[in-house]
Amino acid sequence: VTTGAQPGHFYAVGVGPGAPELLTVQATEVIRTADLLFAPRAETAPRSLALEAARPWVDGKEVIEHVYPMSRDLDRTLRCWSEVADRVVEVCNAGRSVAQITLGDPLIYSTSAYLLGLLEGRLPRERTHVIPGISAFQAAASRFGEPLLLQEDRLLLMPATDLRAVEEALDSCETLALYKAGPNFPALKELLTRRGLATESRAVFYVDQGDRETVVRDLSAVDPSFAQSAGYMATVIVHVGRRKWTR
């Protein structure tokens, strides 16, 4: 896809965490050349964050902003994406190219996942493409410059919703990257403090979202009510330890 979007092809394009500078060259090319662009907007958000990130490349382009549900209602979620999928198939079959943009990486907790699933069997696989994007944990980690992984280390990426699963992971991983760390923040802070890991835990709220970004090096200094107000836009990185080189 180095030459941009091809007629009749579909592209799930990761735009990274929010800043236009973190799109890949390939993402900018596909967005710039696609005939039609789908931009997701959470029903709780005033605008599409993915579209903001892609803004420098969408000038004069046909953009469909589609609202998707944030509730945990699988039927409603699939119904919403089913409408988008119908439209994508229709436009691709008419020989036009379509890109759907999504925050982060299209295969990591992304809106593209549903759409890709619903397109399976309806568009030939060779006309469906995924353009990777920088995920929030990478941008968050970059703020501290501390390696996530060395040598034999293991990194677990998961949401901070199930704290029992988080606690188990502390015993088998060297680094944890926790998404959606806002809602459960008080209990998460309590857990990491009890395990002596709070000062080895970093937090970034609204990573790469301009002035809203807040970077905290020591989790024990985070105000829990601020963290909760950030909701899903809170990433926590826990440095549990390091594995030694083994043979």
Which lies closer to its own copies via its Cβ, residue 21 or residue 62?
A: 21
Residues 122-181 binding its own copies (CB under 8 A) are 125, 128-135, 138-139, 141-143, 145-159, 161-162, 165, 168-169, 172-173
Give the pairing of strands 10-14 and 98-102.
Answer: parallel
Q: Phi and psi (nearest 5°) for 245?
A: -65, 130
70-94: string of b/e by CB count within 10 Å (b at 16+)? Answer: eeeeeeebeebbeebbeebbebbee
Binding mask 198-227 for its own copies (x = CB under 8 A): ------------------------------
Q: How big is the site for its own copies, counted in residues (CB under 8 A)?
A: 65
The reply to whether 108 sits near its own copies by the rule CB under 8 A is: yes
Going by C-alpha positions, the residue among 54, 204, 237 that lies closest to residue 133 is: 54
Distance CA 35, CA 56 (A): 16
Binding-residue pattern over the window 73 to 92 for its own copies, x denoting contact by CB under 8 A: -x------------------
The residue type of 238 is V
CB of 182 to its own copies, least distance (A): 16
Could you tell me the smallest distance in angstroms from the CB atom of residue 137 to its own copies?
Answer: 9
Contact indicator for 234, 185 with CB cutoff of 8 Å: yes
> Could you tell me the smallest distance in angstroms from the CB atom of residue 217 to its own copies?
10
What tokens appear for 48 in the block? 């599409």
Q: How many CB atoms lie within 10 A of CB 22?
A: 19
Q: Which residues bind its own copies (CB under 8 A)?
A: 1-2, 12, 16, 19-26, 28-29, 72, 74, 105-110, 112-113, 116-117, 125, 128-135, 138-139, 141-143, 145-159, 161-162, 165, 168-169, 172-173, 245-247
